[in-house]
Amino acid sequence: MSGIARASTSDPVIAARGLIKRYGTLTALDGPSFEVASGEIFGILGPNGAGKTTLVEILEGLTPATEGTASVLGIEVTEHPQAVKARIGVQLQAASYHQYLTLREILQLFGSFYPKRADPMELLHRVRLEDRADSRMRTLSGGMKQRFSIVAALVNEPDLVFFDEPTAGLDPDARLDLWQIVREVRDAGATVVLTTHYMEEAEALCDRVAFMNAGQMVALDTPQGLIRSLNAPYRLTLTTAHPLPEADVRGIPGALEVVQERTADGFVVRMRAQTAPSVTTALTTLAGRAGTDIIDLAVEPGTLEDVFLSVTGRRLNG
């Protein structure tokens, strides 16, 4: 690695500028520029075909960009892809491991490819698989295989780890277990880039989230920052015994997308609100003036799904 500068801890772990990838007339990636700080869990979300895989493959040194630059751990990826690969870990959504080697032997084999390597038993302990060290992959459950795929990406003690849909296909309990393991990888000193289709996963794990659509990075902020960017970040639902005056409900300052309808439970008002406290107060005041009992009142904050719909006009999985 002679001649390759190493980044200081204050430098961004990833610095991308105007990345473009074309395949003939198809533009798969259309100019994202962003940075990832040391110690972050950085999420990338988008539908199939949004450019997530192309972006990550450029950062991993697997695919050259048509235009633009990318620095990873202070190394220019296009100029020194092998130097980048030596210092990153990559967990793939679908991976095939040698069926006749034990878990310990697979990690020993992978570790032999790098000058710096972690102890296989310590890795297995991190994901609570040390009792399976001498087992083969075919004997593992789906959740165990996902946990093993994470530590297989850590054999070289990487400074930066890419996780691709690490909880895809897992049941809720196994998913929560994997969330904790991802946090522990970050807490142990690595920076994490996470691609996922699960909005709740990004909200629970990520320090910042980037939305991609049609090859472009259309939004980037903390999960709460993205939610606060919504014009009306709250949903309010009020159920009363009798209807409220339609004009008065629609005239509440800060209330948007107002709908009032009769249901089996009573009369329901649904709306989006720019501020929850003032709109809630206005609704309950209207109910009091109308002389009707309040059966139910629910206030829900906006979600990342709402943000994605706002900036792209579509739902992530819709």
pLDDT at 167: 86
For residue 266, give Cα distances in angstroms to 34, 46, 47, 81. Answer: 49, 39, 38, 63
**How confident is the model over 116-127, as a mean pLDDT?**
92
The answer to whether residue 4 scores a pLDDT higher than 60 is no
Helix 103-111 to helix 142-152 angle (10° resolution) is: 20
The answer to whether residue 132 scores a pLDDT higher than 60 is yes
Rounded Cα distance between 113 and 152, Å, is: 12
**How confident is the model over 108-117, as a mean pLDDT?**
90
**How confident is the model over 247-264, as a mean pLDDT?**
94
Beta bridge pairs of residue 89: 161
Rounded Cα distance between 21 and 148, Å, is: 32
- Confidence bin at 78 (pLDDT 50/70/90): confident
**How confident is the model over 106-132, as a mean pLDDT?**
92
Token couple for 238: 């009020």
Token couple for 146: 């996902």
Window from 33-37, 283-287, 305-309 with minimum mean pLDDT: 305-309
Q: Which residues of 212-222 are buried (b: 16+ CB within 10 A; e: fewer)?
A: bbebbbbbbee
Q: What is the mean pLDDT of the chain?
A: 91
pLDDT at 269: 96
pLDDT over 70, % of the chain: 96
Domains of the chain by start residue, with CATH: 14-227 (3.40.50.300), 231-301 (3.30.70.1710)
Window from 2-16, 138-152, 161-175, 185-199 with minimum mean pLDDT: 2-16
Beta bridge pairs of residue 163: 91, 194
The answer to whether residue 94 scores a pLDDT higher than 90 is no
- Confidence bin at 314 (pLDDT 50/70/90): confident
pLDDT at 317: 66
The answer to whether residue 70 scores a pLDDT higher than 80 is yes
**How confident is the model over 100-104, as a mean pLDDT?**
93
**pLDDT digit string (tens) for 209-243?**
999 999 999 999 999 999 989 988 999 999 999 99
pLDDT over 90, % of the chain: 72
Name the more confident of 92 and 47: 47
Work out the number of other CB atoms within 10 angstroms of the CB of residue 50.
Answer: 23
